[in-house]
Every structure is written in C-alpha cells, then in structure tokens.
Amino acid sequence: MKIFLTGGTGYVGSVVLEHLLEAGHEVEALTRTTDGAARLAEAGAKAVQGSLADTDLLRGAAARADAVIHTAFDGTMSEGAAATELAAVRALAAGASESGTGKPVLYTSTALVYGIDPSQDRHEDASLPERSAQPVKGEAERALLTTEGITPIVMRVALVHGRGGSGLVTGLIAGAASSGAAAYVEDGSQVWDAIDVDDLAGLYAAALARPRAGIYNAKGDHPFTQRELAEAISAVAGAQPVSLPRASAAEKLGPLALILGAPGTLAGDKARTTFAWTPVGGSILDDIRDGSYRREAAPVRSGS
C-alpha cells in the first residue's frame, strides 16, 4: 500500500513510519526541511517537502496515495495553528476523496476533546463538550467524518509515552528538574490513561490493514493518577511531589492546570475489537522511573 504520512519526522509519526515500513508499505512523508528529507530517505521513505499550510500539495499527495495518516500537529494551540490544522485536514480529505474509492484517512485526535468535566461520557459515541483544551481537534474530526468517498478513521489518543519522548511528559520532567517540584492539582486523584508509542503505531498499522470508518479511543492497559505521575517524575528529576490547590494551580501552571486537574481516561475497547489489536507496552510510571525517560533524563529530550 502507498501511504501519505504527515509528521513523519515527529515523535509519534517517526514511530508510525517505522511500523509502516516494517509492514512492507511504501510511504511518502511530509517534511518542512532538507534535514527532515534526509532523515526520511535514510529511514526508507520518500520525502514530500512542504508544510501543513501547503494545502494544494497535501491534496495532491493524498490523491495519489492509497491511504493517508495525519500525525503532524502544532501544539502551540494558537489561532493560526488551529486554522492551519483544520485547512490541512480538509485538504487531505478532499484529495483522498477524489477517487471515490473509500481510501482510509486516519486522523490523530486526542483524549482532550472530552473536556474537563468529570461527569463527561468518554465513550466514542458521546456528545463532545463545547469546551476542551484543543477544540480544533473536534472540528477536524467533524470535517473528516462528513467527507464522502473516504473511510475516515479518528483515533482519540491517550497520553503517549515511550522512547524518551512526548512533549507533555518531557516538559513535566524538565520543569520538575528545574524547579525541584513535580506539581499535581489538589489530591492528584485524577485518573488518566496512557499508551506506549509503539502500541499506538501498531494500532495505526492494524487499522490500515482492516480499515473501518469511525471514532476509536486509543489507550493502553495501565491507568495512573496524577499524583502517581508526579511521584514518578520526582524520582527521575530529583524533585519533590507537590500538591497545588486548584485555586492557585492556574497561577503557577497556566493552562496546564486545567489539563492536569481534569480526568484523562478513555472508555471502551472498540479499537481492540475492530482492529484485532492488543497493546503490549508497559506503564508510563515504570517507563519514567526505570525506562526510556531515565535513560534520556540528562538532557531531557522533547518530542512532537
């Protein structure tokens, strides 16, 4: 299968690329730089040089591919980045739909679309709240799911970890190492799900092998609390876990306080049953304390 991949030099996308190539697929991958193009070529992919703002390029690449996977994302969450993301998704969907053959288009969404209300239903068929940390993801989901002539696959992904990467995890470790404190909100009892990056890449490959349109929660088998996360980070960063009252958390953590103070679980096993996929990776807590993050702790490596 010929696949067009965005984000192929980023954290998630580079691991997805490995799994696709190992499965024997031919991959064209988007990159903004000549250095990225060289890295893609070395990995065994064909580079398509451009950016998410190049909608004509995206549409053409999607049109000539047999399937599309979109993992690239500007995490700044600015208005400009959101507009670019939404336009890119629409261009990819439009290009893939030109043949009318039901090409799979797999979109990387996030558990954050479920918002911050603890009472929110977090199954795939739930109505999403208006307020979330990344509202553009919900908009992009709707744009993809309403495009005719494709097989839209939306993955709502839990916190990704593994290989010493993921911007949130490495950012929290770096912040704790710098300040001497690993913060959690109130009692830190907020439960989150996580997924190993290789498990996620394996899910993407499985979804392309037997594509079924729909929304899927992507999570592993090891939920954790925010206090447990802070304790694990403290162990690797030489810091102390610190509870922050909700009222003062925003002042110290900014927008991150809303995310850390909210639930991060995902409900259901639809991805497992639909794609005959089973996660095998370990827990994020063990990965931080004794795995890839301890090995990478000095210096801490960020990911995108």
At 72-95, the pLDDT tens digits run: 988 777 889 999 999 999 999 999
Q: Quick one: 76 and 21 in the same domain?
A: yes
- The per-residue pLDDT of the chain, averaged, comes to 94
pLDDT at 67 over 70: yes
pLDDT in the model for residue 294: 82
Q: Are 135 and 128 in contact (CB under 8 A)?
A: no
pLDDT at 298 over 60: no
> What is the model's pTM?
0.94
pLDDT at 123 over 70: yes
Q: Quick one: 7 and 18 in the same domain?
A: yes
Residue 275 lies in a domain: no
What is the domain extent for residue 112? 2-160+196-218
pLDDT at 173 over 80: yes
Confidence of residue 300 (pLDDT cuts 50, 70, 90): very low
Q: Quick one: 8 and 137 in the same domain?
A: yes
Residue 269 lies in a domain: no
Q: Quick one: 205 and 228 in the same domain?
A: no
pLDDT at 71 over 80: yes
Q: Are 73 and 61 in contact (CB under 8 A)?
A: no
pLDDT (tens digit per residue) in 2-58: 999 999 999 999 999 999 999 999 999 999 999 999 999 999 999 999 999 999 999
Domains identified in the chain, total number: 2
What residues have CB less than 8 Å from 280, skipping those under 6 apart? 196, 199
Q: Quick one: 41 and 102 in the same domain?
A: yes
Mean pLDDT score, 98-116: 96
pLDDT at 299 over 70: no
DSSP one-letter code for 303: -
Mean pLDDT score, 265-271: 96
Q: Closest Cα partner for 256 from 197, 196, 182?
A: 182
pLDDT in the model for residue 297: 52
